[in-house]
Amino acid sequence: MINFELSQEQKEIHTMAMKFARQEMIPKASEYDQKSEMPLEILEKAWSLGLVNTCIPTEFGGTGFSTMDSMIITEALAYGCLGMNTALMANDLALLPIVIGGDDVQKKKFLTPFTESYKIAAFCLTEPGNGSDAGGIKTSIKDGGDHWLINGQKMWITNAGYADLFTLYGTIDPELKHKGISAVVIEKGTEGIEIGAAEKKMGHCCSDTRSVTFKDVKIPKENMLGAPGDGWKIAMKTLDHSRPMVAASAVGGAQCSLDYATQYSKERVQFNKPIAAHQAIQFMLADMATKIEAARLLVYKSAWLIDQGLSNTKIASMAKAFASDSFMQVATDAVQIYGGYGYSKEYPVEKLMRDAKLIQIYEGTSQIQRLVIAKEVLK
Amino acid sequence: MNIFVCVKQVPDTETKITPSGDGTFIETSSIKWIMNPYDEFAVEQALLLKAANAGSTVTVLRVGSTQDTEALRTALAMGADEAILVEGQDNLDSYMIAKSLKGAIEKSGKNPDILFTGKQAIDDDCLQVPQLLAQMIDMPSVSVVVGFESEGGKVTLKREVEGGALEVYEVNTPVVVACNKGINTPRYASLPGIMKAKKKPLQNLSLADVGVSGDDRRVKYSNFQLPPEKPPGKKFDAMDEGKQAEIVAEVVQLLRNEAKVI
């Protein structure tokens, strides 16, 4: 009944994605991190090999990956660089609402161009005053007769400075709370979009994060996903897909941290033997490896549930909370094993520790995940 | 154009190698297999040639065990059209491999216009199969090729020789070309490529199908061992000026008679 083995094809996908991570991403990760610049060339190469926009269905030009396949890809890309993976994963996050809530005309119009050339998308949910409390968003979507009129400000928007397309959540009436939330697609160049300055961040430095202000932005009526008020449903379904993906990225980062720490512990000699021969280090490595294995299984199960057409809300939140908290602990321990060298930017683990922190925050904080889990447990 | 590529599956370079219990080969049970890196250049060159000659097909051949078909599947995912696997153990000698490849080419029903290989496999480093195969199928062969141009029935090949110099060969096809690093940059197998590869034909043949038996073995493996551990380096204290001439003489003597490098 239970089979933990990846299919032959999934093994090949893993091998290929890891090869890309090792050969294209890792050698450049530190450089782009330190200059806080989007490595567009690497991202485009990833796209050309089919590693990006894995959520697009085959009918609209996608490759036809299962959710499980995309977990394998995301883990590998995050192993290469968390920042680059964020830039790539944000595309899926912004396109998923179209896959989930769009009709065929919208899917063809908005998704297919992403399969024809490397394009960038941005997901606009969070606002300056509303993060975890997403139900209270203030950005307004008003019926202007033959168009929708958008006004409001969005915060911490990944890819904003480069985006060809924005998926935005706003409300048709704040009084309606969740029932007023609606999702629309806004194309680049639409009048009234103001892109803020790039945020200076602790980690994921090579990804682009900005505020975006929408001032009297007019969009065609047919750019709304589903009916007015369908936004919350679409957002929740999107999260069921995207949380496992973010959890998979935590597993990739944690695995990378463990691999560095393991290798270093065999090379570093103290008291006349490699530090790996000291039990104090061995116990740390054992705990790190165990957390990663457990997190990966949660990720796989949460993806498997989607592929079976079953509800994964509880397991997806478990995966997201456990994997991101584990990544933070594993990366911190990797720095500890490296000692003084671990704190230096000359070595790779300090970046992993900075990058880990964000995974506990974005796509629902670890605390919000626990609220979701508790709600499911108490049902 | 019928383009053929021969690939070998070798242990990943990071694999820890241990001799098998009876010493006739290495332990293969826990090895992660990859395509021989020099063969990636061969596959890439075949695909480039195919792209330049509409209607061409690329057939990939491999001789070895079936426990993992990584190398052939990678070649198909990179863009080769079909594959033939001759099932045999992984410890066949170069002669048996060359003869198996010859048999597989005959079984394919196609006459190769050009046949690419890597210049050597990184596991046994024999550097023999391309030349043996060329002899058996009566084709010229050029090895260590770093430059390739094709026009009409002719190819111009650049070959690396000692000292970084290049030899240039103009050869009529059909020809066996054994590729070296530098000839091209192998492409990645794209994810859509991996998905498409599943549907491409992969033919399985036995050694008997290609006319090879145990009698063809020319090299018998009997005593695989790990190389002896390196003894620690010798240190000479030459700080005392009075002793330097004496120490230099001793070092020269050791380099000549013990290390045998001068």
Domain boundaries, chain A: 8-116, 121-228, 232-378
Interface test mutation site (partner B, options A11, A12, A25, A52, max chain B beta carbons within 10 A): A12
Quick one: pLDDT at residue B245?
A: 86
Partners of B37 in beta bridges:
none
Task: Decide the pairing of beta strands A209-220 and A147-158.
Answer: antiparallel
| Contact between B171 and B142 (Cβ < 8 Å) | yes
Q: Closest CB to B194: pick one of A12, A20, A48.
A: A12
Distant-in-sequence, close-in-space partners of B200: CB < 8 Å, separation ≥ 6:
B76, B80, B81, B82, B83
Decide which of 3.40.50.2020, 3.20.10.10, 3.40.30.10, 3.40.50.620 is the CATH code for B2-216.
3.40.50.620
Reading the block at residue B150, the tokens are 């094709």
Task: Dump pLDDT digits (tens) for A52-65.
Answer: 999 999 999 998 89
Phi-psi region of A287 (alpha: psi -120 to 50; beta: other; left: phi over 0): alpha
Q: What is the mean pLDDT of residues B4-24?
A: 91
B189 vs A: CB within 8 A: yes
User: Beta strand pairing status for B82-87 and A224-225?
Assistant: unpaired
CA dihedral A302, A308, A313, A314 (to 10 degrees): -60
Domain over A121-228 is classified CATH 2.40.110.10 = yes
Please give the pLDDT value at position A185: 98
Enzyme catalytic residues of A: 363
Mark yes or no for CB contact B190/A50 under 8 Å: yes
Bridge partners of A219? A148
Looking at the domain A8-116, which fold is it? Butyryl-Coa Dehydrogenase, subunit A; domain 1 (1.10.540)
**pLDDT at residue B44 in the model:** 98
Nearest chain B Cα to A73, which residue?
Answer: B191
What's the pLDDT band for B177 if we cut at 50, 70, 90? very high
Cis geometry, peptide bond prior to residue A244 (ω within 30 degrees of 0): no
Per-residue pLDDT of B106-148, as tens digits, reads: 999 999 999 999 999 999 899 999 999 999 999 999 999 999 9
Spatial neighbors of B194 by CB under 8 A, at least 6 apart, are A9, A12, A13, A16, B73, B77
- Is B185 an 8 Å CB contact of chain A? no
Q: Say if A34 is an interface residue toward chain B (CB within 8 Å).
A: no
Order of strands, sheet of B57-64, starting from the edge strand that comes earlier in the sequence? B166-172, B154-160, B141-151, B175-179, B114-118, B2-6, B57-64, B82-87, B202-206
Residues of A in Cβ contact (< 8 Å) with B197:
12
Of residues B132, B192, B204, B142, the one with CA closest to residue B170:
B142
> d(Cα B14, Cα B165) in Å, to the nearest integer?
32
The C-alpha of A16 sits at a distance from chain B's nearest C-alpha, in angstroms, of: 7
Give residue-wise pLDDT tens across range A19-61: 999 999 999 999 999 999 999 999 999 999 999 999 999 999 9
Q: What is residue B243's predicted lDDT score, i.e. its pLDDT? A: 84
Which two structure tokens, joined as six digits, stand for A372?
Answer: 């979701």
Q: What is the pLDDT along chain A (379 residues), one digit of tens a residue?
A: 688 999 988 999 999 999 999 999 999 999 999 999 999 999 999 999 999 999 999 999 998 899 999 999 999 999 999 999 999 999 999 999 999 999 999 999 999 999 999 999 999 999 998 888 888 899 999 999 999 999 999 999 999 999 999 999 999 999 999 999 999 999 999 999 999 999 999 999 999 999 999 999 999 999 999 999 999 999 999 999 999 999 999 999 999 999 999 999 999 999 999 999 999 999 999 999 999 999 999 999 999 999 999 999 999 999 999 999 999 999 999 999 999 999 999 999 999 999 999 999 999 999 999 999 999 999 9
Burial class (CB in 10 A: 0-12, 13-18, 19+), B129: buried
Under a CB-based contact definition with an 8 Å cutoff, are residues A54 and A88 in contact?
no
B239 Cβ contact partners less than 8 Å away, ≥ 6 residues apart:
none
Whether residue A73 lies within 8 A of chain B, CB to CB, comes out as yes
CATH T-level fold of A232-378 = Butyryl-CoA Dehydrogenase, subunit A; domain 3 (1.20.140)
Q: How far is A366 from chain B (nearest CA, A)?
A: 32
**B142 touches A: beta carbon within 8 Å:** no
Model confidence pLDDT, tens digit, residues B214-236? 999 999 988 999 888 888 888 88
Domain extents in chain B: 2-216, 230-262
B219 touches chain A (CB under 8 A): no
Q: Which residues of B touch A19 (CB under 8 A)?
A: 188
Using the Cβ of B73 and the Cβ atoms of chain A, whether some distance falls under 8 Å is answered with yes
* Residue A234 main-chain phi, psi, to 5 deg: -65, -40
User: Nearest CB to A19: which of B188, B197, B198?
Assistant: B188
Residue of B nearest to A49 (CA): B190
What's the CA gap between B161 and B165, in Å, rounded?
5
Phi, psi of A285 (to 5 degrees): -60, -40
Q: Please give the pLDDT value at position B233.
A: 82
State the Cα–Cα distance between residues A72 and A361, nearest whole angstrom. Answer: 22
Do the chains contact at B190 and A49, CB–CB below 8 Å? yes
Chain-chain contact of A20 with B198 (C-beta, under 8 angstroms): no
Q: What six digits make up the tokens of A293?
A: 């294995």
* pLDDT value of position B244: 86
Contacts of A13 in chain B (CB under 8 A): 191, 194
